[in-house]
Structure 1
Amino acid sequence: MRTGPFGRCAAAMITPFAEDGSLDLPGTQRLAAHLVDRGSCDALVVNGTTGESPTTTDTEKAAVVRAVVEAVGDRASVVAGVGTADTRHTVALARAAETAGAHGLLVVTPYYSRPTQEAIVHHLRTVADGTGLPVMLYDIPARTGTGTALTADSLRLLAGHERIVAVKDCAFDPLKSGLVMADTGLAYYSGSEETNLPLLALGAAGCVSTVANVAGHQVRAALDAFAAGDHGTAARRNAALLPLVNAVMGEVPGTVAVKALFRAAGLPGGPVRGPLLPAGEELTGRLVDALKSVLGSPVWEG
């Protein structure tokens, strides 16, 4: 495994809200500190989709970055999601994140307007030019549209930018991923739990994990075993996590599942914002059972 610029295990952190739907900044700091100090995460991705970025304001996004950076200090990298479908807005968010103390940026390919590959490359380079922060590209065509999937040639071009250093890969295209890893210095991070070990085998640096919100130690343990060359243990640890992965990611967005687990445990998380809807009682029960089967204990304490 190559060493990645954002560590090995990054949690795609939820954004805790108070019961009235406002930001819960103390809860955000409590969760961030837990994930770093006891959850084995060496990076936190905030203001991503799992963090409900489509529903938070620019001011709220900056407040989340400041709170998390204050909570974890230099113990972990804080990567701020800033991607939008508007180049100027994305650059503005990137600069605000830099001012708020972020250590890196997560930039999704622009969506909905169906830009060409040339336009996508120009957009991403423009964002990377806008700050001094390292950039993780986010390739997730299932969300942005298949026409906006980064091609291998586009990724090779983007790898030439001094601040574009990593890719969060949700493309489910192992041939493309393997070719780009072989041809460039881009550090790949699996963005889908089920591809963690396959991408590590191709040379990835780690993962950006939603499940790490509730089982960070277990996610990290599988990665560490692989890095140590103990692939059998890595496979067993990964297999033990899959029922929880299926429960958290299988029926509803991961944000909904994680917040349901936190609510069941009386922990910070709070409600989801529309258009998401909260998990019902039956689903919450299945989630709790799946988590207990992996942890044998509550989500976390403290």
Structure 2
Amino acid sequence: MNFGRVSTAMVTPFNHRGAIDFEQTTRLVNYLIENGSDSLVVGGTTGESPTLSNEEKVDLFKHVVKTAAGRVPVIAGTGSNNTSGSITLSKQAVEAGADAIMLVAPYYSKPSQEGLYQHFAAIADEVTVPIMIYNIPGRSAVNITPATILRLSQIENITAVKEASGSIDQMTDILAHAPDDFLVYSGDDGLTLPLLSIGGYGVVSVASHIAGNEMQKMIQAFEGNRLQEAAKLHQQLLPLIKALFAQPNPAPVKVALEDAGISCGGLRLPLLPLEEDEKTSLRMIVERFNQQVNQLK
């Protein structure tokens, strides 16, 4: 399965009571599909997965699958540091209609590289859908080394990795030795163009909530060998990307979505909404970005 070039790590809309707002979820899914998203990652960290119960996750998977209606692949975030629990949730996600699953490195437990391999291999053995591995040592406290990723790439249904190590050297090592059909995605919006330049495929993005079409244009410019255009788009996107991560994700992007007319509500503790000065700073950068986009039209 091809997840496309821009996969959006989707926020989870909540209502004023803090429950999942399925009506706004429908609006968000349609908005993202219409504005540059080739696939949707549901129930990941940007979707505040640590605060969602498994029942809520399954309900969310079902709703997004129904709303997407085959227009784009739906990737369910089913990873945790509990191998057995991840297997159960992965099976439930497949039953809910998810096209693929994303498995984050087991956090907090800090397993060995062999433990990481056995964890992912055990889950892959229980499902048939494609799997994207998610390496984010800054959050999980463990790095999946290139050697382990390469071992995992030999498993038939492990087809991609979301690399958020921040290490271009590590990504290069994977790309140099992985099978040709194994896809490497950037887990950092700001490293999308650098990753493309060394053979990467795309990005699992947060910024695509706001700039999905512009992310696509940058990738298309690169693929079309219009390198100066791609570089210019990267330069325009970078301040927006930094602003969206200036405070804990997804607080900034939920404010930006609200301003764009897509109400996604607040956040669940321990995350907090932005302070007014933080909102003002974010809005200035989003407005400046939108002005630059409009000038190019």
TM-score by length of 2: 0.95
Match of residue 182, structure 1, among 163, 173, 176: 176
Partner residue, 2:110? 114
Deviation string 1:243-293 (CA, Å, 9 cap, x unpaired) is: 1111111x2123000112233455320010000000011111121121111
Partner residue, 2:52? 56
CA distance in 2 between partners of 1:73 and 1:224 (Å): 26
Partner residue, 1:300? none
1:229 aligns with 2:225: yes
1:208 aligns with 2:204: yes
Is the Cα contact below 8 Å between 1:16 and 1:27 reproduced in 2?
yes
CA distance in 2 between partners of 1:172 and 1:261 (Å): 25
Partner residue, 1:23? 20
Deviation string 1:63-118 (CA, Å, 9 cap, x unpaired) is: 11111111112211111111111000111111111111111111011121121110
The one-letter amino acid of 1:248's match is L
Is the Cα contact below 8 Å between 1:78 and 1:104 reproduced in 2?
yes
Match of residue 238, structure 1, among 223, 234, 239: 234
* Identity, % of aligned positions: 35
Offset, 1:8: 0.5
Is the Cα contact below 8 Å between 1:141 and 1:149 reproduced in 2?
yes
- Unmatched tracts of structure 2, length 5 or more: 293-297
Partner residue, 2:295? none
Partner residue, 2:163? 169
CA distance in 2 between partners of 1:263 and 1:139 (Å): 30
Q: CA RMSD in A?
A: 1.5
- Unmatched tracts of structure 1, length 5 or more: 298-302
Aligned residues: 291
CA distance in 2 between partners of 1:209 and 1:260 (Å): 17
TM-score by length of 1: 0.93
Q: How does 1:273-292 map to 2 (within 5 A)?
A: 273-292=268-287
Partner-residue secondary structure (3-state), 1:65: helix
Match of residue 91, structure 1, among 87, 90, 112: 87
CA distance in 1 between partners of 2:192 and 2:260 (Å): 27
